[in-house]
């Protein structure tokens, strides 16, 4: 079919060229797509591999070594090298939960108050001095926290409370320092992002600054603040080194906060080197790792849920 020559000349020329040379923007588009696809693939494969590896090892305990799930989760005695090995992980689960919960309880009010101060009360000083200090806190390696805990917090606790000073309390305090930057940073972002109109609306009704902060600012940003706390908790839950240095590492549920205890992570790092790959003891440690992984998923879901509420 003949087309009107003049009108389509331009388009035809372009079409001809396209057949010979691929246009640059098409190439760019493809390079971008392929590159991002590769990145995603690497990520997904890595995560998938980790989940698979941990699960397959962790589940061996139940399948091959004949330990029951309730025995692991509910058992009070951990003695894998005994003649009749015992795999009760409850003391570790208890240790992990109590240290990270306590850490969040200590760090959440501090972090949120610091964020309120930095964004609502003294934004100038907050931005210039406090924020860098808190970012610095986030960059300190965990072994340093552990060391400070061991040489400052543990002796202090020992002199005030009965016991050795090591234990859940010391672990929680060290962890609270470590997660403080997470909570503060997320809270600061949330508070700074609050629209000025809401605060003005409250002031215009005759509210004072404090009333505005605790009746409008905090409730409106609560989901975001909680997201920070949960992320902080999940960091505390996964931290091994610093806790291990101050908690004492005895496999029992302690009778007080100042008695030696253990967490899931500390027992894994302590025992992993002393076991043979594929042995029942080694597999049991993988089961503990599986519990950690499951908890991570729980934390992620909680955060997701909170994010959804935030965007409501």
Residue 174 beta carbon to other proteins: minimum distance, rounded to whole angstroms: 36
Give the residue with the Cβ less far from other proteins, 34 or 205.
205
**Element spanning 87, H or E:** strand 86-87
Residue 309 beta carbon to other proteins: minimum distance, rounded to whole angstroms: 11
Distance of CA 7 to the CA centre of its chain: 62
Residue 210 beta carbon to other proteins: minimum distance, rounded to whole angstroms: 11
Which residues are at the interface with other proteins (CB under 8 A)? 195, 197-208, 211, 215-216, 219-220, 312
DSSP string across 104-129: HHHHHHHHHHHHHIIIII-HHHIIII
300 neighbors 129 (Cβ within 8 angstroms)? no
Q: Which residues of 164-175 are buried (b: 16+ CB within 10 A; e: fewer)?
A: ebbbbbbbbbbb
Give the residue with the Cβ less far from other proteins, 70 or 195.
195
Give the residue with the Cβ less far from other proteins, 24 or 124.
124
Q: How far apart are CA 177 and CA 298, in angstroms?
A: 23
Give the residue with the Cβ less far from other proteins, 7 or 312.
312
Residue 112 beta carbon to other proteins: minimum distance, rounded to whole angstroms: 17
Give the residue with the Cβ less far from other proteins, 159 or 195.
195
DSSP string across 32-83: HHHHHHHHHHHHHHHHHHHHHHHHHHHHHHHHTS---HHHHHH---EETTSS
Give the residue with the Cβ less far from other proteins, 211 or 269.
211
213 neighbors 116 (Cβ within 8 angstroms)? yes
The phi and psi torsions of 230 (rounded to 5 degrees) equal -65, -40
Residue 120 beta carbon to other proteins: minimum distance, rounded to whole angstroms: 11
Residue 122 beta carbon to other proteins: minimum distance, rounded to whole angstroms: 11
Residue 220 beta carbon to other proteins: minimum distance, rounded to whole angstroms: 5
Query: Could you tell me which of 240, 226, 224, 308 has the C-alpha nearest to residue 273?
Result: 240
Give the residue with the Cβ less far from other proteins, 97 or 203.
203
């Amino acid at each position: 079919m003949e087309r009107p020559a003049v009108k389509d000349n331009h388009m035809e020329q372009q079409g001809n060229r396209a057949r010979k040379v691929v246009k640059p923007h098409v190439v760019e588009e493809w390079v971008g797509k392929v590159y991002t696809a590769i990145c995603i693939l690497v990520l997904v494969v890595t995560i998938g591999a980790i989940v698979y590896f941990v699960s397959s090892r962790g589940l061996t305990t139940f399948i091959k070594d004949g330990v029951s799930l309730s025995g692991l989760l509910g058992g009070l005695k951990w003695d894998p090298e005994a003649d009749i090995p015992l795999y009760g992980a409850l003391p570790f689960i208890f240790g992990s939960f109590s240290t990270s919960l306590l850490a969040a309880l200590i760090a959440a009010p501090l972090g949120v108050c610091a964020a309120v101060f930095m964004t609502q009360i003294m934004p100038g000083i907050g931005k210039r001095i406090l924020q860098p200090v808190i970012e610095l806190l986030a960059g300190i390696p965990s072994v340093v926290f552990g060391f400070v805990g061991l040489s400052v917090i543990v002796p202090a606790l020992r002199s005030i409370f009965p016991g050795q000073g090591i234990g859940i309390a010391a672990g929680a305090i060290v962890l609270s320092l470590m997660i403080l930057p997470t909570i503060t940073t997320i809270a600061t972002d949330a508070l700074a992002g609050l629209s000025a109109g809401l605060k003005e609306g409250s002031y215009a009704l005759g509210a004072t600054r404090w009333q505005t902060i605790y009746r409008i600012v905090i409730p409106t940003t609560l989901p975001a603040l909680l997201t920070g706390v949960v992320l902080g908790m999940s960091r505390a839950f996964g931290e091994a080194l610093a806790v291990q240095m101050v908690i004492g590492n005895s496999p029992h549920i302690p009778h007080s906060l100042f008695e030696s205890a253990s967490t899931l992570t500390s027992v894994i790092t302590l025992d992993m080197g002393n076991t043979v790959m594929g042995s029942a003891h080694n597999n049991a440690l993988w089961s503990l790792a599986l519990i950690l992984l499951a908890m991570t998923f729980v934390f992620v879901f909680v955060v997701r849920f909170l994010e959804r509420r935030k965007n409501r």
